[in-house]
Each structure stands twice: as structure tokens, then as C-alpha cells.
Structure 1
Amino acid sequence: MEFLPFPAARRHAASTVVVDSILPRAALTLAHWRGAPTPAMYQDDTSAGSVLRALRPSAAGLAQARYVTANHFDVDGFVGVWAWLNPVLALRYEELLRLAATLGDFREIDWQSPLADHALQLVCWLNAEEKARFYEPFGAPAGRRREDEASAEKFEWFLPRFGSILENPGLGRAAWEAEYRRVKQAATRVQSPATTVRRYPEIGLTVVRTPEPLPYYALFSPSIGTDIVLSLYDGQRYELEYKYTTWIDLESRPTLPRLPLNGLAACLSDRETGRHRWTFDGITDTGPLLRLDGRQLTKAQRYADPDQRPIYASSISPEEMEAEVVAFFRVGYAGMEPKRYWTWAEVREAGGQAG
């Protein structure tokens, strides 16, 4: 088995296992993307989790497979590709790799896990080396390159090096330490009296009220089990975000579909007395944001941590903001039942009915 860049894999699909991507006629698909043809026995919350499931039995499609590929580089996809190429070591560290993939994709980590710090160090190492040596996530178009082509360089650099960091993260301390400490300090703030967390499980919403914008790995950890986060910061600065958990086929629990945010944006804009207006991303974006003048951000900026982008002050009080958001989703989800494996057609239909 060997890694094959995605453009080349298109010519060898029948001999290729595709991870965290879709490749027509592939020998085996191991992806959590909505509608991906991942065999039911391997479906998992993360694509790396699907790979780890497939490694335990002799996966269907393995006999004829010679290559493994992915059409982009991120933590989940990389961990899945690496695990396929290193099955013995991957299964030895299965729980740790699952935590890392979940943190990378969903920005969630259970700080009570004895492996939480190790997983965070791995993810911070991947993030730091990726930015230092290559380009930031979603940054390929800025260099006039296609992600499925440009990302191959990342895989080729990381694949032979990851195993040693997995077994001894201290070897990568110089790269991961700064981001690791930043996240840990932010997590301490989330767990302090300065931050309040309210959950509305019936609509899948977590409200985090904290003084300043935080890294996602700290901000989203209290939201485990929900799919929408409303962040309320001092100075009447707010953002609402659909988590990636409702872009993919989540296996572990049912979810509600994403609702278009145009109605909520219009309602909030009517209340604003300042110069900014509420804007929103479409429901098929990987992590749609509702924010003041949010359309000015690039995809790379929207993917970056909230403390790395401008968040404008609103004339709406935090109490009013929370009440409006909760009311919007309660009305929109009235009569809907959560379920697994929504199709995009069903999501759009549900959004139309809610509107």
C-alpha cells in the first residue's frame, strides 16, 4: 500500500481506497461525508474512525487495493490515510487517534479523558507544521492551486514523520507548544466563573458567554452533543455557527437539519441601530456563520479561530440575542424529529418547511 495523490488516484480508482473524500469507482470509500458510499459496517463519526473500523476485519476492497488517497489535507483525513498505511500502530493507538480526529474536525475534546492532552499536542503539531511549511487550511486557491493537487505535498511530508510524534510527542514540542498552551489557557477560561454555558438540547444549541473570543478547541468543547453554538462576548459581540457535525453523516447520534439563517439575519438586522448588518453563510458550507458583516471574510478566515478575526459590536443586548436565537430555532424545529443520515435534499426541504 502507498499514498497516491488524488489527481493520479482518479486514473487508478479501482485500486484505491479513498479516505475523507469521494472518488467514483474506488475500491473502498471510508468517509463520513454526507451521502458517501461508505459500507454500513464502517460508518463512523469521523473518516479516521471509519478507517479504524475497517482495519479490524479484512476490509472489503482491500484485496485489490494498492493505493490510498484523499482530496484534501486536514487532521481527520490525514489520520485516516496514515492509519491505513500503518495498521498495527494505528490500532495500538486507536482511542488516541479517534480523539485527535474528532478534535480536528468537530473542534471538540473531552478534557476529562486521560488522553486529551496527548491528542491536543498531536493536533497542534499538525496545525503548526502545516502552516509553517505549506499553507493554511483553505489557502490553496490564494496560491492559484487546487487543493487536491497542492495537498499531496503535505501528505508526503507528514506521513513518514507522524508515527514518531504519535509515540513521543515531546519530539515535536517546539512546533506544538505555543498553540497547545494557548488552547489550554483558553480552556481554563471556559471552565472558570468568567464563562457561563447554557444548553438547549431540544434544538441542539449551546450558548457560551465568555469575555473574549477563544480558539475553537476551547470554545466548542462544552458543546459536545449539540450542533449549533452561539458565542456571546463582552462588548456585545456575537457569532452563531453550525458545527461540522451537521455537514457530515454523524453515526453516533441523530441530529436536526440545518435551517437557512436568512430569517434570523433579517430579524436581527431590523433590531440593529449601527452601521453593520447581519449576514450568513449557506447551509451547505462546512461551518456556516451568522455574524455582523460576515461575508467580508474569506473561507480561510472563517475557518480560523474566532480570536483571529474581527467581531463587530452589536446594538442588541446579549439577553435579547440569546432569546431571538432560541425562539428562531424553537419555531423552525417545531414538529421535526432528529434522525441520522439526512440527505441534502431532505435538509433543503426541511428548511423550506420551517421557513
Structure 2
Amino acid sequence: MKTFVPFAHLRRQPTIVVDSTASGAALVLAHWRGAPTPAALRDDTSAGSVLRALHAPATPGLAAPAVTANHFDIDGFIGVWSLLHPALALRHERLLRLVAALGDFRELDWAEPLARPALQLVCWLNAREQALFYPPFGAPALRRREDEASAEKFAWFLPRFAAVLENPEAGRTDWEPEYRRVEAAMAVVQSAATHSRRYPESGLAVVETPAPLPYYALFGPTAGADLVLSLYEGQRYEFEYKYTTWIDLASRPTRPRLPLPALAAKLNALETSAHRWTCDGITDTGPLLRLAGDTLTKVQRYADPDQRPIYASSIRPEALEQEVVAFFRARYAAIAPRRCWTWAEIRAAGESAAQPPGAG
């Protein structure tokens, strides 16, 4: 039997670290870039690596009696819970994999038979977290460290999750409001009102839809792409690097994130509204390029697009799309997708892509 311990207790006993990385761990099971997860256990999600480990009980370090993580999110929670309940986790492996992937990547394929149960579980986790604790990335506002404060979330969810996993109806009161909101948004995504386009040379997906949507609906048509340009009515736009380019994705190669200030500058040269284009740094979990009013907090950036203000631009949508497509097409022309980029390599690729042809 294993037990969960707060991250600060990592070195008090042999401990498995999930969805995090730390020196002194008996075993690391994480998809973080550069994490020392054993090669045979690498997966798109950290929970996926845990489930792989459960199929390989001789894995060195897997017998450690304690489990921890330095933050609480759905992927990490599913990984920690699965180590504490291995038989039940393996019985529900397919569903748990979908829950972890939906929690991190926000991509929902409604053709998947377990899509709805996965969304219900994700919505239950979200609703209970919102009702009882601080929001994702909200610990600093409470003057607390995430690795310390998140232990309280694990303590509440770990003994209660199995009941909802095995009987989602037990959590309906909690999961139904967000579930219905996403269901309605998915109907819009699947209707004639929404159009999506792909630019494979850069991994860009463009989603043109009437109004901002929850991520679980918006990102559904973008599975397999790593860059998303959202075009809304009223000339409102956002560009985002997906989380698939922050971690070491195991299932397919990816391109490195490129710094966005040059693209923001280009758009600002065209913009005549009262707002200016701003962008987040490439190490943010989901960097945005958008017209700025007030600066968004990390909590607001992580929240769904329909939960934050998105301002009208003077740039026509076809012109905006053309600028974004041209920017990435030119800069990715000499960069081949691959797996396991280091942050140093990503920064170097960004610097190289910014050089004019023939420079250097």
C-alpha cells in the first residue's frame, strides 16, 4: 500500500514523484520537458506514464511507499490516485487516460465512446475544486506556495474519487452545469457556424466560430495541432500555443515554440483600434497573443476564453489569418518537428528563426 505525502516530505522516505520533477525521487513519472521518466514509460500524460508503470511492476523505484506531486491538476491527480489504487486504475485504464488527456490538453473527441464519462469526471473535479479550494494557479494570491497548498486538494479528492469514477451519477449535481455548458458549445463547434482549417507546415489550426467557447469544445477540432488561432465574430481574435508544446509529447513530434513579440509588432503596425497586441513568454504553460485591455492574470489566462474579455480588432479576419500563417510558415521552414526538445534548444531555435535569410 502506498500513501500520498506533501511534496516537502519527498526525502523523508522513498517517494515516487508524479507530474513533477525533483532530485531525490525514487522514481519520476512525468511528461515534463526533461523529466527523468524511464524511456519505456514515457507517455503523453503523466497519468499515462503511471499506468504504463502499473503494467511493469518490476520498474525500479515503483515499490516506493510514498507518492507526491508539486501541484494539483487533473493529470497529476489521476496519476497519484492510480498509484494508490492500482487494481481499480487498471480496470478503468482507458477512461482514466481520457480524463488525464482532457484535463491537460482540453481536446475532446465526441466520437470516442468514453468521451462523455471522461468529461463528466473532469467537470466533477473542476466543480469541487472551484467550490472548496482556490482556482488553478491561484495559490500565490493566497500568499501560499502551490506545492504546499495543493496537498489539501489531494487530501480531499483522493478518498472520494473512486465513488464518482464507478458511479458518475453520484456526482451529477456537481458535474452537470459545466458538462451542459460544454455540450452546448460542442453543438456550435459541430454546426455550420464553425469552420476549421489546418496549416500542416506549421502545426497551426484555425477555428472560426461565432463567440468564445470553453476550451473543452474549442480545442476539439484542433487535436494533432499545437498552435490555435481563434477567430470570433466582431473581429475578435486570440492565438495560443497549446500545452502539447510545453511538455515532452510522446505520441508524435512537435515544433519548438517561437517567441511572439515580432508577430505582435507586425500586428500592432496594422492595428488602429485603441488596444495593442501583447504576448506571453514561451515558457508559460499556454502563451496567448491577443489584444490587451487590462493585463490578464495567470488564473484568467488558464480560464476558458468565454470567461475573459476579448477585444475587437481593426484588422479583418482574413488579413489577421494571413499574417499569422505567414509568420509561422517562414520561421518553421527550416525547423523539422521532433521529440524531446530541451528549453535551451527551443530558445536557440527561436533565435535562429528570427534571423533574416543568410544571416549568421
TM-score grouping bracket, smaller chain normalisation: over 0.9
Matched position secondary structure for 1:160: coil
Listed as ranges, the matches of 1:94-133 within 5 Å are 94-133=93-132
Matched position secondary structure for 2:111: coil
The one-letter amino acid of 1:101's match is: A
Relative to structure 1, the CA distance from residue 295 to residue 336 in structure 2 (aligned partners, 3 Å threshold; closer, same or farther) is farther
The one-letter amino acid of 2:168's match is: P
Q: Distance in 2 between matches of 1:295 and 1:341?
A: 35
Relative to structure 1, the CA distance from residue 63 to residue 182 in structure 2 (aligned partners, 3 Å threshold; closer, same or farther) is closer
Question: What is residue 256 of structure 1 aligned with on the other side?
Answer: 255
Question: What is residue 87 of structure 1 aligned with on the other side?
Answer: 86
Listed as ranges, the matches of 1:29-108 within 5 Å are 29-62=28-61, 64-108=63-107
2:176 is the alignment partner of 1:177: yes
Q: Distance in 1 between matches of 2:48 and 2:311?
A: 38
2:8 is the alignment partner of 1:7: yes
Q: Distance in 1 between matches of 2:110 and 2:281?
A: 32
1:10 shift after superposition: 4.0
1:294 shift after superposition: 6.8
Q: Distance in 1 between matches of 2:103 and 2:64?
A: 27
Question: What is residue 22 of structure 1 aligned with on the other side?
Answer: 21
The answer as to whether partners of 1:140 and 1:147 remain within 8 angstroms in 2 is: yes
Question: What is residue 247 of structure 1 aligned with on the other side?
Answer: 246
Question: Could you give the per-residue CA deviations for residues 51-78 of structure 1, whole angstroms, max 9, x where no partner exists?
Answer: 0000001142346511000000000000
Q: Distance in 1 between matches of 2:261 and 2:270?
A: 14
Q: Distance in 2 between matches of 1:61 and 1:214?
A: 44
Q: Distance in 1 between matches of 2:76 and 2:154?
A: 10
Matched position secondary structure for 1:232: strand
Question: Could you give the per-residue CA deviations for residues 299-348 of structure 1, whole angstroms, max 9, x where no partner exists?
Answer: 00000000000001000000001000000000010121100000011100
Listed as ranges, the matches of 1:273-312 within 5 Å are 273-293=272-292, 296-312=295-311
Matched position secondary structure for 1:296: coil
1:125 shift after superposition: 0.2
1:25 shift after superposition: 1.6
Listed as ranges, the matches of 1:155-170 within 5 Å are 155-170=154-169
2:208 is the alignment partner of 1:187: no
1:11 shift after superposition: 3.7
The answer as to whether partners of 2:275 and 2:293 remain within 8 angstroms in 1 is: no
Relative to structure 1, the CA distance from residue 341 to residue 294 in structure 2 (aligned partners, 3 Å threshold; closer, same or farther) is farther
Q: Distance in 2 between matches of 1:189 and 1:63?
A: 45
> Structure 2 unaligned runs (5+)?
355-360
Matched position secondary structure for 2:206: strand
Name the count of aligned residue pairs.
353
The answer as to whether partners of 1:280 and 1:290 remain within 8 angstroms in 2 is: yes
1:35 shift after superposition: 0.1
Matched position secondary structure for 2:154: helix
Q: Distance in 2 between matches of 1:224 and 1:56?
A: 27
The answer as to whether partners of 1:237 and 1:313 remain within 8 angstroms in 2 is: yes
Question: Could you give the per-residue CA deviations for residues 63-95 of structure 1, whole angstroms, max 9, x where no partner exists?
Answer: 651100000000000000000100001011111
The answer as to whether partners of 2:5 and 2:68 remain within 8 angstroms in 1 is: yes
Q: Distance in 1 between matches of 2:110 and 2:341?
A: 30
Matched position secondary structure for 2:207: strand
The answer as to whether partners of 2:16 and 2:62 remain within 8 angstroms in 1 is: no
Which sits farther off after the overlay, 171-180 or 287-296?
A: 287-296
Q: Distance in 2 between matches of 1:49 and 1:77?
A: 10
Matched position secondary structure for 1:350: helix
Q: Distance in 2 between matches of 1:23 and 1:11?
A: 14
Q: Distance in 1 between matches of 2:281 and 2:217?
A: 25
Matched position secondary structure for 1:179: helix
Question: Could you give the per-residue CA deviations for residues 213-247 of structure 1, whole angstroms, max 9, x where no partner exists?
Answer: 00000000111001000000001000000000000
Relative to structure 1, the CA distance from residue 155 to residue 199 in structure 2 (aligned partners, 3 Å threshold; closer, same or farther) is same
1:110 shift after superposition: 1.3
1:274 shift after superposition: 1.2
TM-score by structure 2 length?
0.97
The answer as to whether partners of 1:279 and 1:295 remain within 8 angstroms in 2 is: no
> Structure 1 unaligned runs (5+)?
none
Relative to structure 1, the CA distance from residue 330 to residue 294 in structure 2 (aligned partners, 3 Å threshold; closer, same or farther) is farther
Q: Distance in 1 between matches of 2:143 and 2:336?
A: 43
Question: Could you give the per-residue CA deviations for residues 251-304 of structure 1, whole angstroms, max 9, x where no partner exists?
Answer: 000001101001100000010111111000000110000001177000000000
1:179 shift after superposition: 0.1
The answer as to whether partners of 1:106 and 1:244 remain within 8 angstroms in 2 is: yes
The answer as to whether partners of 1:223 and 1:229 remain within 8 angstroms in 2 is: yes
Relative to structure 1, the CA distance from residue 294 to residue 222 in structure 2 (aligned partners, 3 Å threshold; closer, same or farther) is farther
Q: Distance in 1 between matches of 2:245 and 2:335?
A: 15
Q: Distance in 2 between matches of 1:119 and 1:64?
A: 29
Identity across the alignment (%): 70
The answer as to whether partners of 1:125 and 1:176 remain within 8 angstroms in 2 is: yes
Question: Could you give the per-residue CA deviations for residues 12-52 of structure 1, whole angstroms, max 9, x where no partner exists?
Answer: 3xx00000001202000000000000000100000000000
